[in-house]
Structure 1
Amino acid sequence: MTKKFHLDKTQIRPLATGYGACIATDMITVEGKSVGYMVREFPHPDHPEDSGWLFTSGEESQDYMDDANHHGVYDVNTIANYCPEIIALLDAPPQSAFARNPVTGKLEQIDYEEPLD
C-alpha cells in the first residue's frame, strides 16, 4: 500500500534539522492533522539517528497504534513542517511529554508516564 502524504516532498523546508529520526502517525502525515501529543523517550542505543520523539494527533486508538501500517519513521524536520509549533519543544529532555490543551489549543507540558511493555 502506497501512502499519499498530506505534504509533497517539495513542500518540506529546513525548519528543524539535525534532530534525527522520529515516529509519527498517518493521522499527521497522511490526514494532515496537527500534532496533539508528543512524547520523548530515551533514544534507542543501537540507533544513533533515533531522537526518541513520537508524534501523534492524540486521536489514535490503541488498535490504530498497534497496526504498524498506521505510522512510520520520519526525520523530525519533516514533522516540524506538518506542525511548526513543535519546534520550540524539540530540545526537551527524554521523558518529556506534551499534549494539546483543548481550551487554549496550544501544546503544553504534561506529566510523563512510563510506557507499558
Structure 2
Amino acid sequence: MFGFKKKGKKFVISGDKIKRLIESNEGCIATDRITVDGCKVGYMYREEPYQNGNPDSGWRFMAGDESDEYMGNPDNHSVYQVNTICNFDRDIIPLLDSTPGIAYIRDENGKLVFDEVLEVPED
C-alpha cells in the first residue's frame, strides 16, 4: 500500500495501484493530507480552470483541517490528475461535473454536501 515516492513523499496509494475511475485527464490540486496522510476529501471547490495550455479541471481538494500556514507552504500540495484523487476518495466522483464557482464540505455524517457558491474576484 505504501511505497510510491515523489519529491521525498510517501503516498498512501502507490502509483501502480491507481485505477482508471473517470475518463478525464484533467489536472487538479490536492494537499498532502489526502495523498500522503490518507485523509478523505473534507473540502473541495472548483474555480475557473486556468487557460495556460495545461488541462486544468479547476478542482482543488483538501482534507479541510489544513491551516493557513500549511496551505502557504507549496511543498504541502501538488498537481495531480483528477482521476488520481478519485482513487484516494471515490466520494468525489458524483460531484465532478459541478460548474466552476461551487464548493462542497464533508458534513457530520461523513457526506460531501453543497457548501457555498464561491465569490470570484473580477480582474
TM-score category by the smaller chain?
over 0.9
Q: Aligned partner of 1:114: which letter?
A: E
Q: Indicate if the aligned counterparts of 1:25 and 1:56 stay in contact, CA closer than 8 A.
A: yes
User: Where does structure 1 differ by over 2 angstroms across 4 or more consecutive aligned residues?
Assistant: 112-116
Which residue in 1 is equivalent to 2:113? 108
Unaligned residue ranges in structure 1 (runs of 5+)? none
> How large is the Cα RMSD of the aligned pairs?
1.4
* Residue aligning to 1:8: 14
Q: TM-score, normalised by structure 1?
A: 0.93
Equivalence for 1:55: 61
TM-superposed deviation, 1:19? 4.8
Using the alignment, how far apart are the partners of 2:106 and 2:25 within structure 1?
22
Q: Which runs of structure 2 are paired with 1:73-112 in the superposition (5 Å)?
A: 73-102=79-108, 104-112=109-117
How many residues are matched? 115
> Where does the alignment leave 5 or more consecutive residues of structure 2 unmatched?
1-6
Q: For the residues of structure 1 that align with 2:50 and 2:95, how far apart are their CA atoms?
A: 20
Cross-structure match for 1:32: 38
Distance 2:14 2:105 in 1: 26
Distance in 1 of aligned mates of 2:53 and 2:46: 15
Query: Does the 8 Å CA contact 2:101/2:120 hold for their aligned counterparts?
Result: no
